[in-house]
């Protein structure tokens, strides 16, 4: 009898734990496949994140460079023991991911942004993403973008005015926070249709919430235990995180509600005074375009609209850092700056205050090459990660389903096969004759394939407007050498200590 009970008990245990053991076996096999790739030492629970945790934020990017040289062009990392990341450093590997319609799902790291961005274009996938992409693409038509060029120029002029105040004593100025706040002003007006005046009111709660949320998201990325909601809620970041998130969501909800009410009252047009209490103008913002489309097809919920508006707001980081790197590189190369100045004179003549319209911005061919070369050396988003939806063979290795692949854009842009002397700053790399025959995936600052950046034309127009206006008004000189600039790879690739420029007013 005792033997029978023992067998029954053993059988019950076996049946109970069988799924668990199967899962462990499957996970072990998965890890074995991943570990065939080269990569740094992995530790229990922490994976390969230990060096990143123990080093200061400003030294983490150097680890990426070190690992790339040591293990690249394809190697593995472990973010914790169960989250592998396969890093790809050449366009040959990246092309297979970019051009695929199967591997469009973003990695688990983007989940850290979902409390703010919801299921917007950056974080969503599947049919939800396809539908939103289809609905949003017309909002970036050139006829729509043309209407935003006056917004770009208005704020570019405000930047010039601010710089005149700050450089009156001839001392260098850190351009990074100035451009960051101005870019936030631009995106608030173009995306939501209200003025935040971040350039003048840097203590604005919304401004602080944007930067606070972004910083905390990166802490969760580098510290595996903080990705577990239970431990995160017990951490010192939790209260600050909730406060920032509430500020971001409440502002967007309030603006959408106000916008819808104004449209109902004025029969889809703002009438009476030029601006309402939010500083909303008669000019249509992306929010208006979303509401227009939704009134026609009813395919977007209020939550969908809020997610997409928040996604536009999040993208401000990429544009602002792109402008800063451009000004820095222009300030290092006097010959390049002189060519830009000559192009500005050819377009605007002696009228230094003539607004840069859509037509003038499209005439800035040399400046566009300069901006592209800056994006090659300092891509705003230095890597993009995707989740594999099926097994794939790359470089003689099997990348299994559910693994995360990180496309290392910073290193892809430095492939000597396509960019001779890759650290040299040379805008002529983007002359048509020099681009002929180059792999189309060798330069991907806005990603590529079906999931490329929908707002890349918007970003380039904004960068052209701001940079050209500053060059028309100032001679720029960068203070630090490139080797002295420390890079921080977080949500964007930014300088640790900002960018200090000496500006001399043009006469």
* Cα 426 to chain centroid, rounded: 24
Tell me whether strands 383-387 and 404-408 are parallel, antiparallel or unpaired. antiparallel
> Residues 369-406, buried b or exposed e (16+ Cβ, 10 A)?
bbbbbbbbbbbbbbbbbbbbeeebebeebebbeebbbb
- The token pair at 17 is 């734990």
Of 196, 193, 197, give the one whose Cα is nearest residue 262.
193
CA distances from 50 to 73, 219, 225, 457 (A): 22, 13, 12, 39
Does 453 belong to an annotated binding site? yes
> Any residues with CB less than 8 A from the CB of 120 and at least 6 apart, and which?
132, 307, 308, 310, 311
- The token pair at 57 is 């934020």
Burial of 79 (0-12, 13-18, 19+ CB in 10 A): buried
Residue 76 in contact with residue 85, Cβ under 8 Å? yes
> Any residues with CB less than 8 A from the CB of 165 and at least 6 apart, and which?
none
Burial of 150 (0-12, 13-18, 19+ CB in 10 A): middle
Strands annotated E in 156-244? 173-174
3-state secondary structure string, 249-261? HHHHHHHHHHHHH
Q: Would you say the C-alpha torsion 212, 218, 222, 223 has a positive or negative sign?
A: positive
Position of tokens 């990143």? Answer: 52
Partners of 408 in the β-ladder = 383
- The token pair at 110 is 């983007």
- Enumerate the known binding-site residues for heme: 453
- Enumerate the known binding-site residues: 453
């Amino acid at each position: 009898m005792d033997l029978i009970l023992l067998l029954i008990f053993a059988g019950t245990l076996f049946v109970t734990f069988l799924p668990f053991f199967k899962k462990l076996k499957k996970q072990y096999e998965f890890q074995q496949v991943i570990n065939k790739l080269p990569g740094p030492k992995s530790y229990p629970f922490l994976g390969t994140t230990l060096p990143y945790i123990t080093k200061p934020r400003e030294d983490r990017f150097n680890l990426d460079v070190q690992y790339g040289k040591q293990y690249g062009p394809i190697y593995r990392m472990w973010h914790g023991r169960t989250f592998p990341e396969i890093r790809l450093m050449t366009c040959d590997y990246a092309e297979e991911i970019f051009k695929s319609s199967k591997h469009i799902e973003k990695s688990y790291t983007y989940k850290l942004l979902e409390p703010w961005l919801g299921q917007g274009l950056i974080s969503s996938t599947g049919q939800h993403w396809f539908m939103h992409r289809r609905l949003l693409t017309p909002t970036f038509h050139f006829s729509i973008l043309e209407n935003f060029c006056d917004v770009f120029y208005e704020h570019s002029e405000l930047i010039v005015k601010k710089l005149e105040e700050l450089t009156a004593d001839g001392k260098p100025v850190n351009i990074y926070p100035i451009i960051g706040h101005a870019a936030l002003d631009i995106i608030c007006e173009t995306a939501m249709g209200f003025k935040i005046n971040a350039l003048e009111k840097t203590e604005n709660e919304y401004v602080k919430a944007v930067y606070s949320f972004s910083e905390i998201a990166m802490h969760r990325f580098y510290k595996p235990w903080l990705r577990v909601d239970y431990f995160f809620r017990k951490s010192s970041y939790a209260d600050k995180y909730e406060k920032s998130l509430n500020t971001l969501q409440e502002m967007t909800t309030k603006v959408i509600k106000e916008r819808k009410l104004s449209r109902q009252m004025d029969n889809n047009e703002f009438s009476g005074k030029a601006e309402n209490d939010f500083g909303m103008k008669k000019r249509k913002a992306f929010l208006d375009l979303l509401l227009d489309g939704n009134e026609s097809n009813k395919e977007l919920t209020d939550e969908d609209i809020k997610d997409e508006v928040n996604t536009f707001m999040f993208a401000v980081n990429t544009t602002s850092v792109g402008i800063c790197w451009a000004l820095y590189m222009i300030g290092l190369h006097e010959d390049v700056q002189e060519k830009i100045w000559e192009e500005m004179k050819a377009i605007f003549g002696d009228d230094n205050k003539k607004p840069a319209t859509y037509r003038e911005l499209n005439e800035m061919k040399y400046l566009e090459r300069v901006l592209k070369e800056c994006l090659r050396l300092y891509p705003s988003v230095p890597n993009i990660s995707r989740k594999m939806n099926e097994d794939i063979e790359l470089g003689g290795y099997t990348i299994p389903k559910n693994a995360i692949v990180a496309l290392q854009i910073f290193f892809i842009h430095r492939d000597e096969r396509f960019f001779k002397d890759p650290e040299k700053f040379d805008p002529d790399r983007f002359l048509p004759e020099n681009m002929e025959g180059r792999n189309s995936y060798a330069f991907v600052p806005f990603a590529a394939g079906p999931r490329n950046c929908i707002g890349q034309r918007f970003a380039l127009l904004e960068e052209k407007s701001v940079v050209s206006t500053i060059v028309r008004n100032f001679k720029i000189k960068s203070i630090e050498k490139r080797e002295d600039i420390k890079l921080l790879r977080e949500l964007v690739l930014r300088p640790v200590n900002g960018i200090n420029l000496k500006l001399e007013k043009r006469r």
